[in-house]
Amino acid sequence: MDLIKRLKGRSILYLTIVALIASIIVSLCSTDLMVNSPDLSTEMVDLEEYIPGIIVDLKYATNDNVFGQPVYSIDKAYLRQESAEKLKKVQEELRVQGLGLKVWDAYRPPSAQFRLWEIMPDRRFVVNPYEGFSYHSRGVAVDLTLVDEKGQELLMPSGFDDFSSRADRDYSDVNKQQQANALLLEEIMLKHGFISIYYEWWHFADEKRDSFPVVEEEELPGR
């Protein structure tokens, strides 16, 4: 009888040890998957494919910009998926109001930042690439405006990349409608996780902008 009890005790102990080892293995495997699995929120996505109805007009890919020459050759607007998801919510809310977004600039290759600095070495409007890259080059910043249901741009304080005082958020030198439209854009962008800057009413960056590294052009989808 004592022998049977001892055998049962050993069996229970053995099963307990096996269960404990199995639990540890499962835990380690789960941790490994979490560490090694790609974070999809950091992937770069094409905004036209990701956000229904958004309009893309990349000014720096054409001559239609303040510099009168292309700054980069990319013909698609890319953002980190996490930032694109926030922008998607902005677009969805605007649609209810009969409005939408038009993107003028999104991801910007690091090489383009050097070109911009050569043309406009002014820290108010262009980040000095010798000191650090723009959040555009991290895939977490976007330049945009509002459009109506027909895709027509709403009246704003200035055009894109207007380096005058009309482009800032003072609004004392613009009319009430221009101010109201710019404030509407800023309000809804901030609501969904972006931040603004003073000198450019069209520029917004993800509030988590410093969490992401610079993206090289070769890292874009399909490259």
CA-to-CA separations, 103 to 19, 48, 191, in angstroms, rounded = 56, 10, 18
Residue type, 165: S
Radius of gyration of the chain (CA): 25
Are 90 and 101 in contact by the 8 Å Cβ rule? The answer is yes
Residue type, 39: D
- CA 69 – CA 8 distance, rounded (Å): 84
Tokens at 59, concatenated: 């000014």
- CA 86 – CA 90 distance, rounded (Å): 7
- CA 217 – CA 195 distance, rounded (Å): 25
Catalytic pick from 82, 93, 200, 219? 200
216 has catalytic annotation: no
Tokens at 35, concatenated: 């560490």
Residue type, 178: Q
User: Which sequence positions are flagged as catalytic?
Assistant: 200
